[in-house]
Structure 1
């Protein structure tokens, strides 16, 4: 896999992660709440600072104004003297001012009705009070501390809005990872369940929460599925067993009748009986499954296998080297290859060609089936190997059983459309050199076979 493909896969997993969606939702909700609460707190704090500043300014102005109207309080007012004060006469002239405002003495009052004025590169908030017979008292208080506090509060709010999402997302990710660990583990176990084998229940977490209830429901479903599969296999086995004996008798009778009469209709009926025989074998294979089926290993000449297949599917062209030997279960391998050849003949038609090529190495034996038909349906893909899925009007069991037999041998079956047209199936099994090292001995006594014996 290329780095780009791996990164794309990680992005897909990241976008479809329940843990990430929960963390993102938690982060957005928490960020919204934090923003609202912080805005409220900052607004309240700034409002209180504003009121405190204004109260301080008013208190200073009232104290100084009291000193002009009440000469007895002049001594107390001296302690509250401001660096920014002016006394404005009734004619609008500044009669006196603090040292920072001396430039305005004996000049017209310059600030009009402004409540904030710049003085020596400082913003000063201003209030006015009546000063008895002296005129109007002008008192100012610098806003530097207030502006600095306001700026600090807004900077802290902005920093919180920038940092909080990342912190909340990481926190939510790790908390979600811990909280959903049981669900993630169960999903991994459930993903490894093979429906063709025994369905094992999932382990339940110790805490009885939503994950516990979900997994318990899945376990109950698995139990019902396994029970249903067992009933289906039992019913299918019984049906095949009941069909086996009559088909065997019918097949033998038709073969004898064909030998006596040479009637083409009888020969055609005998071929139909053969087809039904293999269909029942496929059904029995499906009913037993891989767990209940064991192979009877034998080392046979490739020519023996060729002779069987030539009788079962006439008109097949055999290519490659058929002089060697093959380690296999002869009946099962014959069944698998016969299914491939029968499908190929059905697709190619009576006038078409079907070839079976054998290539053998010490490590691998490869059978290649190629026909001159239309090729595999593009819309089926790997589904062509599923039971009861067919692109040629057959029962849909042949390819599924053939792949199962190949895998029981330790090999594989794959299919594609040949570049020059027609379907191309490749069945591989381990070679005899590898088979000699297997634990299972050769020529062991075969297990009980199907009710309907394989044709040979």
Structure 2
């Protein structure tokens, strides 16, 4: 009865030890650590292999020259490399998860076999022991002295699987890989130590990992074939898609390559995709529009400049020929005076053309704070004796200061006053005020005025209105064009606005 009670107590301790919560937590933690170690080993091998390949490639002197230079080739290579890395990581994770799951099943079967045999050993029932259960391949019972007390038929006559000896009462579970000569596959062994009437014994139960090995081999072979095919598919698809996406870019490049300075009317094709390439084509066409307009302005400017220069040169040549053909001292004064006037006109026209060329080239000019109030007063005072005096009005209080180049600002106001005095009948007005944080300079006259349809055309180079602004009244048609360019370079703007009578030109400049 005492032995029976002791056996029952040992059996209860074994069952509680195997099925207890601490045991379950221990097994769960072990499985997680085991799966992490296996995945880490595989990932480490892959990383080491990639490192060796990268080191080998880095030693190649012509590797950089071998890389594709086209966007299509680089995009294909980059997409294929990214997919290759992703597939490699996914393959390692897949094999690791499958392996961990199969190892868990093998360990569970071995654990159930060890638990059942430990329960029989705790009850003192060593003979006869049942054959291995389904899923388990063998078991072995080893006493405290290292003697094999019982074993499954396929381990009959073999020594103890482990030299480890039990040292305390209770149940202890451990798992390890062993290289048993039984079979051609690895074995998963579970160890359970429990107390029996004869003392402490250790039960070893194991199962084959042939399923895990088979799955590893099958999965590895499948990935070895499938991954390269998938990478090839990704490369081909990327190559085709990138080629289709870059087709419009190549068409734009080919069209731009054929456009010369004589074919600025041509435009690049705009795809109907409404994407970035379509916007690029639209921007390119807008740039070509500006180039064509700039070319047309340049040709028109050259033609007008040639025409304007030809007239005074022709007159000057005629006067010199007359003076040479009729060497009459009485006519020399009149001829020299006319030649001097034409020379002055040529000099002024050349100076205007040079200034326009500098403004077109956007050459920077030094700027300083300029007292616009004092400048307006000085220019008005200098024209006091003109046929049409300038009536200047400045705001009371502190002076109006702007940040500008003094020469350019003086030329701007001078051109506006020259234009007003050229076409005024009785008076010219010059008004300075401050509005909306800007210095507003207004020049008015009581002449024929500027029609609404021509308020922008008067700022074109060599532009003249048919009736009111003719060459006989002076000027080459560059004054207002230069004034608008100067206003733009000074950060402001010049406009022609409606007036009750005559012309009204308004320049707005930022304050200093």
TM-score, with structure 2 as normaliser = 0.41
Largest Rg, 1 or 2? 2
TM-score, with structure 1 as normaliser = 0.45
